Chains A and B, each alone.
Chain A
């Protein structure tokens, strides 16, 4: 019983950075901009959050800076792919490369040694009153980084924005049929800019979760593919916040099992198989074995009024 609660708690923690990035991915893709840059944006967020906490001593300022940095670097992606009509995948690859270069460059330049930063103030752990005293539930839900709770709130908020507001309706219209959206007076470019920047802000918090939420330092390329797992969660969750939530939780639990199996030296499944699981599941989802996965119709299509 205790072991199950611990796995679920650890799974929830592992899932949190993915949740933020996945919400970002959903907004971007729903507006018609493919965002494989999530990985690089997360890395940027993780680095800047650590840096801000290092210089100011305030981890919350770190979160804010990560949001700004994530938004700014995603703005490059938005500008190049919306304004210049560059191939969105190419631009995403370039962002990932840029982020990996920038973070390692400044890590080396500022701290004079490679690998990792010194430890900084982290957000710490926040027990929830009352809930923390419930035996099983308390172990799962309480005592996490505040960013874990915020992630859960963000999922609900993202669902609300996307499906219950005029803005959400516009986003979906732009992603499904930009020409039609344009005809009814929606500014396609503006919506796409906003959504890509939202994706950057969210992925930025996702990165901050890694460096100052769950840990208290930055290590080189610390996202280690989580941006791509988040992208997988977006697809697995069929481009909806609740779907992505379930997917990230599933991936997070697989990660927790892998870590637990490693510490307890249980080898009925090699750890690499656990690590592969999110990617294999996503392939199955895409191939249509787990319901249909249809991306927004205009995803990846540049739109230019003049054409």
Chain B
């Protein structure tokens, strides 16, 4: 009896390892191989390309810093997708939430005057609020009217895109011909670390956000309720947890996190809001990051670093190795397919194990 129990324990641990580490690593390797095939198909040298990628991402302080710059918004959007996911919700509205927060941060940053110790937190809060509203309304629609959040957040992405375009083109446009807001005040800017690198304080905000999300999810009642709803809404309701309230709350928090990505874009990088003609893609990449990171803050930081590296390397691969930078989208997509299919991987793994066990019994 005891031996059987011990065996099951080992199996459980095996499964955990397989799901949490092995699958993402295999996914990345697999995707890189397929990426290489595409490179070969156009006559480029994949070894050279990947070497450029590694060198341009990790060679020297400046490159490492730029990789971190790329990873920062992905930490926010990855956390955003993951938080909603923990409540059983799919927030693919990160793009819209990013944009409304982006314009809000530019507005508060450029049109108000106050000391830095108020201006920075206020700009961040305003951006988070904008994101929270843009995520919260789909939450409300889901909780009260049963509108599926996937569809409503897609709709909100586009409404947000055109709204931000309209605002930058009209009331918030800086004098001149460039469709952009005025530059934000010094008091609303995140300081940069070194000259020649855009790395700024927002990386610490991202790390802090990851910590806080971890704390909320596993150390507070809110987090407990959100996760309970995500695991089984019916049981949660029966246990006295308001499903509707938690859906709205989770979507609002998720929106606020994507909003932080928008804020960091303005406060640390562009220092103004430029007219967006399409989506930047941070919200969509956030889905991949969350998936790869198993919806856990630590995993998300690792996932964001990986995708930050890929994005940084992609530009260099194009200019140095002559590989179109879009190869990175292909690699990302394959990673997503692979990680999303891990049910199948588990199933195959189970079948192999079952066969082995059978053989052992027969012997």
Would you call B337 and A104 a contact (CB within 8 A)?
no
Count residues of chain B with CB under 8 A from any CB of chain A.
42
Would you call A283 and B328 a contact (CB within 8 A)?
no
Interface members, chain A 243-301 (any B CB < 8 Å) = 270, 272-273, 275-276, 279-280, 282-283, 286-288, 295
Question: Once bound together, how far apart are the Cα atoms of A96 and B156, in whole Å?
Answer: 18
Question: Once bound together, how far apart are the Cα atoms of A90 and B295, in whole Å?
Answer: 14
User: How far in angstroms is the closest Cβ of chain B from A38?
Assistant: 11
Stretch at the interface among A77-85, A129-137, A201-209: A77-85
Which of A86, A221, A224 sits near B337, CB closer than 8 Å? Answer: A86
Would you call B287 and A93 a contact (CB within 8 A)?
yes
Which of B147, B278, B341 sits near A80, CB closer than 8 Å? Answer: B341
The closest CB in chain A to the CB of B324 belongs to A108
Would you call A90 and B287 a contact (CB within 8 A)?
yes
Question: Once bound together, how far apart are the Cα atoms of A138 and B150, in whole Å?
Answer: 41
Would you call B324 and A279 a contact (CB within 8 A)?
no
Q: Which A residues lie within 8 Å of B158 (CB)?
A: 225, 228, 275-276, 279
Question: Once bound together, how far apart are the Cα atoms of A295 and B158, in whole Å?
Answer: 22
Asked if B190 is an interface residue, CB under 8 A from chain A, the answer is: no
Question: Once bound together, how far apart are the Cα atoms of A282 and B150, in whole Å?
Answer: 13
Asked if B80 is an interface residue, CB under 8 A from chain A, the answer is: no
What 1/0 mask marks residues of chain B from 321 to 345 whose CB sits below 8 Å from any chain A CB?
0001011111011101100110110
Question: Once bound together, how far apart are the Cα atoms of A199 and B105, in whole Å?
Answer: 41
Question: Once bound together, how far apart are the Cα atoms of A83 and B341, in whole Å?
Answer: 9
Interface members, chain A 91-106 (any B CB < 8 Å) = 91, 93-98, 100-102, 104-106
Asked if A119 is an interface residue, CB under 8 A from chain B, the answer is: no
Question: Once bound together, how far apart are the Cα atoms of A156 and B180, in whole Å?
Answer: 47
Which of A96, A97, A104, A287 sits near B145, CB closer than 8 Å? Answer: A287
Would you call A283 and B278 a contact (CB within 8 A)?
no
Asked if A7 is an interface residue, CB under 8 A from chain B, the answer is: no
Known: A97-B333, A98-B333, A282-B155. A105 touches B324 (CB 8 A): yes
Q: Which B residues lie within 8 Å of A84 (CB)?
A: 340-341, 343-344
The closest CB in chain B to the CB of A228 belongs to B154
Chain A interfacial positions (CB closer than 8 Å to B): 34, 36, 76, 80, 83-87, 89-91, 93-98, 100-102, 104-106, 108-109, 221, 224-225, 228, 231-232, 235, 270, 272-273, 275-276, 279-280, 282-283, 286-288, 295
Chain B interfacial positions (CB closer than 8 Å to A): 38, 42, 90, 92, 141, 145, 147-148, 150-152, 154-156, 158-159, 162-163, 165-166, 169-170, 278, 284, 287-288, 291, 324, 326-330, 332-334, 336-337, 340-341, 343-344
Which 5 A-B residue pairings sit nearest by Cβ, starting from the closest?
A: A101-B329, A98-B333, A84-B344, A84-B341, A108-B324
A and B contact pairs by CB, cutoff 8 A, 5 listed: A94-B337, A96-B284, A228-B158, A276-B163, A286-B145
